[in-house]
Amino acid sequence: MARSAVETQAQMMDVEEALGQAQMLVFDAWEARTAKQRISLAKRALKISPLCADAYVLLAEHETPDSDKALDYWRRGVEAGKEALGEAFEELEGEFWGFLETRPYMRARIGLAYALWNRGAHDEAIEHLRAMLILNPNDNQGARYILAAWLVETERDDELAGLLSAYSEDDMAAWSYTTALAAFRREGDNENSRKLLSKALLSNEHVPGYLLGDRPMPKASPPYYSPGNRDEAVCYLTDFQEGWDKTPGALEWLRACIPAKKRLQQSRKAKRSA
């Protein structure tokens, strides 16, 4: 006998209630002091609701990053997050992250993209980030910056040009310097690429010093940064250094465009502000 509408509704309420209880345990896990406590709470959350994507995220983060087990947790987190959203998944396309219930899925999916990239599954990793930008064009997680770095490294210049154009109003160092690099890759040293490099220098004057080795990178990445400061430059290097290194002539072009005297002044200024 088919279940009545009342029974179906009651079951849906039970599923939502269980997911809510599991998510509360995840919130507790985020505040826990030890890894053991966080893992225990995440596993408890999944016993209450296997649709708790954030619990899988927590477990993945406590595994060896490149392990099969971590990758499995990331994948299961993405699957759980999508299933938890149900019909809302398609209804909210273009507005993800604006609704709290979408965020566990988005956290799991960006983690999966990183895990795949680090294992050499570059095509699949890139596709995940492209899909995330369709779901959330506002890009609250900064997926476009990671995607831009990966497109440079994989020499997908046409896709990179489209991405840069889609967020052309972005004036962060990650965008301005990558726009200049993309122009150099496409056109070489000309008036346009130099103009774009000059614009990038205005957005953050510290980047060339790190790129060219005039200033040593810190041992640890900064936890946060402000636009234009040296911490932003460090974060840019973390994601984009390899792309610059793999672009023939890019660093030589950068050095030629920014005289040594100016680089020295910038380096001294950065030391005084440190």
Is 37 or 223 the better-scoring residue by pLDDT?
A: 37
If pLDDT is split at 50, 70 and 90, which confidence band does 15 have?
Answer: confident
Task: For residue 200, give the nearest of 258, 154, 129, 271 by alpha carbon.
Answer: 258
Which pLDDT tens digit goes with each residue over 123-174? Answer: 999 999 999 999 999 999 999 999 999 999 999 999 999 999 999 999 999 9
| The pLDDT of residue 224 | 86
- Phi–psi pair at 169, nearest 5 degrees: -80, -10
| Model confidence, pTM | 0.88
Residues in Cβ contact with 36 at an 8 Å cutoff, skipping those fewer than 6 apart: none
Q: Over the stretch 16-50, which tens digit does the pLDDT of each residue have? A: 999 999 999 999 999 999 999 999 999 999 999 99
CB 142 within 8 A of CB 134: no
Point out the least confidently predicted range of 6-15, 173-182, 197-206. 6-15
Angle, vertex CA 165, rays to CA 128 and CA 167, nearest 5: 70
Helix/strand/coil for 87: coil
